[in-house]
Structure 1
């Protein structure tokens, strides 16, 4: 399936049972809510998907199951976050066999590669597969900045097509657009900056709180692209306290709690993460429940 790098791409959480196996039934419950809301693709095995705790066998199961359930409606993207080029290449080649439509690539994990090494890492993976690729640029969390000069080299490869823009610098959208035009698709990767980056010309949104609030997320995207900024702004203002949950080191636990309270997920996480308890859980639960209680009425955004 072809990938058009625009629209809302949820970075889906990975669902687990109490026995610490993949909970495909709950995963599908959430997936169907995303599809009904009008998302444009899904991303599996990202940071929010507890990537570092998944085995390759579990990645294979998730991708194959998701491909079967989406039934051609949207592309299925697999995240790759490996420490070695060899393992990243192996997973990229396997992703095609699993049925994935594209890849999201992080720079080398657990080693702060320099610019030359980072470019070589991405190019080696891209050369190994025909799948289209989105580079995940998040220097705040992963300490490697994929600069415009590096993209100049990377974009010589046709299957490197997009960036998940997580530098926290809104003006980077304009810099990238000025330099590369439409050759590089730009998707905002920070929930709390999404509307701002969309207004400045980003093509899409790799979203986190969409896992619990898919309709509101897609509504903001489509309203912005339709030029109905005041309507989008009102929803975005309501959403902001919830979107800020995506900035915390416990974003997985926070967003899974939101999914559970919205009836499309559970709080089950995989060790070393632990479920929320005590005052912290009550505080986050109160914030989420307040947001749900004043959830805005949405326009018919699917017709835009």
Structure 2
């Protein structure tokens, strides 16, 4: 089994498209290189931000292989699994492993609201089928299925289930997980607007969204918190908050891609049925991004 250190800032990266709706690997590479230069600790492909539900298998393959080559062993490449059937999830895990991914992030079954027992069996089937380390994505707010501590009790019998992307929006859940499982389960915050609080409470890292446009600031917050330099981290976090709120929106992909344009490491192209923002909402989001870019803080040495 390959091991991953489930710690630090792991960007859930956007997928870049050309104007004729093909993968834009040139712009994608530019962004990944900016993430690596800023010191991120992993790259997560094919999440919600990566527009995974619109990607074809061949495109996922290209993205995984290209990213693995690009990062060249510097950080782990994690592939997200969001499938409708257990069979498809097992197949997706096998493909990700074959293509060189070093870990998996896993959502519960899509579309079908599975029971606790069904959800556990789903995760177990994938864990049994692969030697890749797995981070369970626990987001009952958006996906209506909660992975409870009792369910984790059952799942942690599998050595390769190692981390949770904690998106319950309940900070106290971090304490509960730590009290129950100690260091057995690494915790990464999955909600941009709760990231600093989560890390102060002992979360191991941050699966981040706005990092796609602002990698240096995101990594700085993590590193400063871990060094106990809370005031300095809070200063950057306060500046960041209006931008981070762009992540907790159904249009998070469009919002974050607009931010990537503003910082020169992305384009606005999204895949249908998504459309770029327009009208008043576009003006509102652009105003937040422009203000953020204009007032970018000095990053202290860490």
> What corresponds to 2:13 in structure 1?
12
Deviations 1:93-131 (A, max 9, x none): 111100000000000000000000000000000100000
> What corresponds to 2:58 in structure 1?
57
> What corresponds to 2:138 in structure 1?
137
TM-score normalized with structure 2 length:
0.99
Report the Cα offset of residue 3 of structure 1: 1.1
Matched, 1:123 2:124: yes
Tell me how large the CA RMSD over aligned residues is. 0.6
Matched, 1:287 2:288: yes
**Aligned equivalents of 2:188 and 2:3: distance in 1?**
17
TM-score normalized with structure 1 length:
0.98
- The 5 Å alignment of 1:1-304 reads 2-301=3-302
Corresponding residue pairs, total: 301
Deviations 1:149-178 (A, max 9, x none): 000000000000000000000000000000
Report the Cα offset of residue 230 of structure 1: 0.3
**Aligned equivalents of 2:277 and 2:174: distance in 1?**
36
Q: What's the secondary structure of 2:135's corresponding residue?
A: strand
Runs of 4 or more, structure 1, over 6 Å off, are none
- Structure 1: state its 5+ residue gaps: none
**Aligned equivalents of 2:132 and 2:123: distance in 1?**
13
Deviations 1:72-107 (A, max 9, x none): 100000000000000000010111100000000000
**Aligned equivalents of 1:87 and 1:21: distance in 2?**
24
Deviations 1:188-226 (A, max 9, x none): 000000000000000000000000000000000000000
**Aligned equivalents of 2:110 and 2:274: distance in 1?**
19
- Structure 2: state its 5+ residue gaps: none
Q: What's the secondary structure of 1:82's corresponding residue?
A: coil
